[in-house]
Amino acid sequence: MGINDVILKTVAKAVVLIILTFGIYLFLSGHNSPGGGFVGGLVLASAFVLMFLSYDTETVKDAIPIDFKKLSAFGVLLAVLSGLGPLLFGQNFLEQSFDYFNLPIFGKTELATVLIFEAGIALTVVGVVVNIILSISEDE
Amino acid sequence: MQLLILSILLPFLAAALIPLIHRRIGNFNIGWLVLSIPVLLFGFFASQIPMVSSRETLLTSVEWIPSLGINFNAYLDGLSLIMALLITGVGSLVVLYSIYYLSPTDSFPHFYAYLLLFMGAMLGVVLSDNLMVLYVFWELTSISSFLLIAFWYHRKNSRYGAQKSLLITVFGGFAMFAGFLMLYAMTGTLSIRETAAAMGQLTEHALFYPAMFLILLGAFTKSAQFPFHIWLPDAMEAPTPVSAYLHSATMVKAGIYLVARFTPIFGGTSAWFWTITIVGLVTLFWGAFCAIRQTDLKALLAYSTISQLGLIMSLLGMGSAALHYGNTEAGALYGLAIFAALFHLVNHSTFKGALFMVVGIIDHQVGTRDIRRLGGLMALLPVTFTFAVIGSFSMAGLPLLNGFLSKEMFFTASLNAASMPGLFSTSWGWLIPVIAWLASVLTFIYAMIIVFRTFLGNRDSKAVEKRPVEPPIGMLISPAILSILIVGLFFAPNLLGDHLLKPALEQLLPGISGASPDSIYAWHGVNTELLMTIGIVLIGSVLFITFDRWKVIFKIQPAGWTFNALYNYALTSSENAASFVTRSYMTGRLHQYFFYILLFFVVSTGGTLLLSDALSISFVQDAPISIYELMLVIVMIITAISILFTRSRLSAILMNGVLGYSISIFFVLFRAPDLALTQLVIETVTTALFLLCFNYLPEWKREPLPKRKKARNAGLAIAGGLVITLTGLSVNSADLFETISGYFQNSYELAGGQNIVNSILGDFRALDTMLEGLVLFIAGIGVYTLIRLKLKKEAGADGD
């Protein structure tokens, strides 16, 4: 292991955490300020890519036992199913609803169904990007 | 009442559940669970018989695509109830039979999922009142039939048969679809009932005959009518329960159903009458003629099915004349043919279903279905023999069995049709009963072949090693029920006639009273029909005994002059033509592909821009250009040009990155933080991807192209850039439409979000986003498969 690897790995440990936090922040803040499912998913994916680049694939796979193919499929399914939900309430496919609730700690909070949809998009993006990069890097 | 629509959807739902539950139930055979569905549905449809026999109908409607007039209208009348009872009734028997027929190595979940898929689709076909919905279910039956024929997909013949059936029936389906659209253009409605009501005045319409023939094409391909019958014998590669169910009792009757359903719409015209009658009679004769020379029992049954379908088809043709004569004595006289068609439709399902199951038992217990190797099975399989006799003799039209009744009616109808007054009179009319009689003689012969060649004579113990025994009792129940029905329908035909056939007939021949007989009699006294039957038995027996002496006539038809050869020739030549065209432009050279893509873009977009006179450039409304923007533009231009002249790939990648980041700075300048953020992250991920791919890319070298080609490429590239620039400028300069951005400004009130961009993405235009996610997913799977496939190939190559 070269000295560069040590630096990279140490930095990655800290940076990955920051990137992940930033990704989740972007995902949640998308409703009212810049961010959203797509870019949040991309940032999360880049954190995973950094992990895979700085450590070897096996180590990361042991630590995070996620099948990214299934993750992307799950994401697409979630996005589609979230669209079917409104049909049960007599609304159109993919029609989003929102309302304001008084929650104990957060106070007046807006809850929107678009969050489920965006979560689906974010998971799709994470799954697809990591899956593509993993397949290419394993092609040896 | 939504039960009707639920009954269509239930099999689909069950098919979707099968993969989920089959692992959880262990060794328990999933067929028993599946069996509950057709039984339940059969019970439901049977409970509707009193309603239908009191001349009521059931209509339920759910809006599907209301903007296009496509509603999920389920409509239950006499005709659809007959079909629905056949689908669920024979379906139950076939599922029960298949539990014992399939071997433990077969994939049960696949089999039953496909079978249920078919059942739902077929119910959808016969219960839909909307043409578009009917078409969707129609194609679904073709697809599920394809899957079932190819169930043993490791066999080459199975795949060939599946492809053939799909190509032919889907070809007909497309034609039918075009016919439906023409109907819609004529009447402005997609509902079959409303079309029938509006059709009376439209016989003069220019689209009337094209629509008729296109719809008939769909019906003829599906019901294996001459010359499209060639797919049915190849479909016999399917497991026998499937052949019994799809390819004799239900799916091939979809064409019959369609013709019957459209009789009130097109019936009464001479084109409809002659087309269906002639095609039906030719199919009847040709199918019976080909059946005799088959040595495979299943192939024999396939041709016999073709022949019988032709019989029913020709009856529908003859009966359609009634609509021309209207509510007169002649109308009632010729309307009997349709009654006979419906009656024979039911009878054929009973005796052909039983016969297929018998052949399945023989194949299962003896190990072959080749007539030349079979014989003397009567003593070994007495129960199966009984069913075979009942089924075959009914098919031959012998008394004490239901086939006799409908066969007599068929003769009556053909004698009536021989001498029609007015529109349908012709000097060739006498040919109709003659062909009907000749075909029936042939039918008698092959029915005898099934019984005598298989069960009598000497057993060739050398050809068949194991000593056959009767199958498990479960395999005998289904043919037993069908055999009881065959006999029962002879003694109590009016039970069926009064409750189902008459209501259906009244729907098909609106306004004609007295078309159906008061009751069905077996004994009419000594008349022409009875003499015809006696003649069939006498001459048929003689011909059967002397079969070996005259079978040389089958050699008259020269080899290679068959419709099968034509089909194969068309298939291979279209494949060759397609691969020739593909090879001519798929050269494997990336720069050529780019050339095609850019050329297409420049010609189509640039051409449209010029031809529609849309080119307009004005800078009046534009904001002044700031110094930052100017600097960025200069940086981007310099970078873009230097990529062209760079000598290493790494610097090209880096400069590409400079371009990407510059664009994101542009987004910042234009106050689009969302886009800037996304562009930044995308740039980062792309660069990582590039670095990963770096190792695998071939050496960076310049392609030695001649000067002329270089100039051509450069010209095209410049043209491409120019078209994009001009389009952008034109779009910005012209205000052709009212801007819609005002609507999105209300995102906080409408979508509860202050971020307009995300409100558009996640709410206003969520469908676009969802589909983009889907595209991304498919692309990801594509990359994964391509790389995996390559890895596998390499691993395989190493192993060899």
3-state secondary structure B174-197: HHHHHHHHHHHHHHCCCEHHHHHH
Do B62 and B5 form a contact (C-beta atoms < 8 A)? yes
What SS3 class is residue B521? Answer: coil
User: What three-state secondary structure class fits B722?
Assistant: helix
Taking only the tens place, the pLDDT of each residue in B511-539 is 777 777 777 777 777 788 888 888 889 99
User: Looking at residue B258, what is its pLDDT?
Assistant: 94
Same domain, B703 and B765: no
Query: In this structure, how many other beta carbons lie within 10 angstroms of the beta carbon of residue A74?
Result: 15
Q: Exposure string (b/e) for B349-382, b if CB count within 10 Å is 16 or more?
A: bbbbbbbbbbbbbbbbbbeebebeebbebbebbe
* Strand blocks (E) in B328-402: none
Query: Does B61 reach chain A within 8 Å, measured CB to CB?
Result: no
Phi, psi of B253 (to 5 degrees): -85, -5
A34/B contact by beta carbon, under 8 A: yes
Name which of A7, A120, A38, A21 is nearest A72 in CA terms. Answer: A120
Q: Which among B681, B692, B776 has CB closest to A39?
A: B681
**H or E element in which residue B76 lies:** strand B70-76
Same domain, B694 and B613: yes
Structural domain for A63, as ranges: 3-138
Closest approach of A9 to chain B, Cα-based (Å): 17
With an 8 Å Cβ cutoff, is A125 touching chain B?
yes
Q: Least CA distance to A71: which residue of chain B?
A: B777
Contact: A127, B777; criterion CB under 8 Å: yes
> Are B42 and B89 in contact, with CB atoms under 8 Å apart?
yes
- What is the rounded radius of gyration, in angstroms, for the C-alpha atoms of chain B? 33
CA B328 – CA B420 distance, rounded (Å):
13
Amino acid at B676: A
Q: Tell me the three state secondary structure of residue B560.
A: coil
The answer to whether residue B65 neighbours chain A at the CB level (below 8 Å) is: no
CA distance A118 to B88: 43
Distance in angstroms (rounded) separating the CA atoms of residues B302 and B226: 13
Dump pLDDT digits (tens) for A72-120: 999 999 999 988 888 888 788 878 888 888 888 777 878 888 889 999 9
- Final residue in a domain of this structure, among B720, B741, B762: B741
Cα–Cα distance between B31 and B101 in angstroms, integer? 11
Burial of B743 (0-12, 13-18, 19+ CB in 10 A): exposed
Show the 3-state SS of B283-336: HHHHHHHHHHCCCEHHHHHHHHHHHHHHHHHHHHHHHHCHHHHCCCHHHHHHHH
Closest CA to B757 of B679, B695, B701: B679
At a CB cut-off of 8 Å and minimum separation 6, what does B574 contact?
none
Q: A98 contacts in B (CB within 8 Å)?
A: 751-753
- For residues B4 and B119, state if they share a domain: yes
Token code pair at residue B379: 């003593």
Q: Hey, what are B328's tokens?
A: 């007169």
Residue B489's contacts (CB-CB under 8 Å, 6 or more residues apart) are B346, B347, B350, B402, B405, B496
Nearest CA in chain B to A50: B688
Tokens (6 digits) for B384:
């199966």
Q: Do B34 and B145 sit in the same domain of this protein?
A: yes
Which tokens belong to B550?
A: 């005259």
In angstroms, rounded to a whole number, what is the distance separating the alpha carbons of residues B752 and A100? 9
Do B546 and B631 fall within a single domain?
no
In this structure, the answer to whether residues B736 and B746 fall within a common structural domain is no
A96 touches chain B (CB under 8 A): yes
Q: Tell me: pLDDT of A1 over 50.
A: no
Q: Rounded to an integer, what distance in angstroms lies between the CA atom of residue B352 and that of residue B346?
A: 10
Residue B699: the pLDDT is 76
Exposed, middle or buried, B346 (CB in 10 Å: 0-12/13-18/19+)? Answer: buried
Looking at CA atoms only, how far is residue A123 from chain B in angstroms? 10
Question: Is the omega angle on the peptide bond into residue B233 within 30 degrees of 0, that is, cis?
Answer: no
The Cα B570–Cα B559 span in angstroms is 17
On whether residue B226 sits in a domain, the answer given is yes
Residues B690 and B752 reside in one and the same domain = no
Give the C-alpha separation, B543 to B446, whole Å.
11
Residue/partner pairs of B448-452 with CB below 8 Å, 24 or more apart: B448/B392, B448/B396, B448/B540, B448/B541, B448/B544, B449/B292, B449/B300, B449/B371, B449/B544, B449/B547, B450/B297, B450/B300, B450/B301, B450/B355, B450/B388, B450/B392, B451/B388, B451/B389, B451/B392, B451/B393, B452/B544
Q: B556: which DSSP letter?
A: S
Query: Which chain A residue has its CA at the smallest distance from B767's CA?
Result: A94
> Would you call A112 an interface residue with chain B, using a CB distance cutoff of 8 Å?
yes
Cβ atoms < 10 Å from Cβ of B684: 18
Domain of residue B128: give its range: 1-194+219-266
Say if residues B277 and B312 touch (Cβ distance below 8 Å): no
* B276 belongs to a structural domain: no
**Domain containing B656 — which CATH number?**
1.20.120
Q: Residues B303, B290: contact at Cβ < 8 Å?
A: yes
Do B57 and B508 touch, CB atoms closer than 8 A? Answer: no
Question: What's the CA gap between B414 and B763, in Å, rounded?
Answer: 65
- B685 closest CB neighbour out of A32, A129, A138: A129
Instruction: State how far the Cα of B144 lies from the Cα of B140, in Å rounded to an integer.
Output: 6
Do B426 and B380 share a domain, yes or no?
A: yes
For residue B370, give the DSSP letter: B
* ipTM value: 0.92
b (16+ CB within 10 A) / e for B639-657: beeebeeeeeeeebbebbb
User: How many structural domains is chain B composed of?
Assistant: 4
* CB-nearest partner of B758 from A31, A94, A120: A31
Are B381 and B497 a contacting pair, CB within 8 Å? Answer: no
Residues B548 and B441 in one domain: yes
The pLDDT value given to residue B216: 95
Cα B237 from chain centre:
18
Report how far apart, in Å, the C-alpha atoms of B321 and of each of A42, B311, B547, B587 are: 69, 16, 38, 59
Same domain, yes or no, for B130 and B174?
yes
Question: Which residues of chain B register pLDDT less than 70?
Answer: 1, 200, 459-466, 558-560, 791, 795-800
Contact A49 B769 (CB under 8 A): no
Give buried/exposed letters for B181-207 (b at 16+ CB in 10 A, else e): bbbbebbebbbbbebbebbeeeeeeeb
The domain tally of chain A equals: 1
With H, G, I as helix, E, B as strand and everything else as coil, classify residue B75.
Answer: strand
**What pLDDT is stored for residue B758 in this prediction?**
86
DSSP-derived secondary structure for A63-121: HS---HHHHHHHHHHHHHHHHHHHHHTT--TT---EEEEEETTTEEEEEETHHHHHHHH
Interface of B with A in 679-738 (CB under 8 A): 681-682, 684-685, 688-689, 692-693, 696
Q: Are B353 and B244 in contact (CB under 8 A)?
A: yes
Residues B105 and B246 in one domain: yes
Please indicate, yes or no, whether residues B732 and B600 belong to a single structural domain of this protein.
yes
How many CB atoms sit inside 10 A of residue B708's CB?
Answer: 8
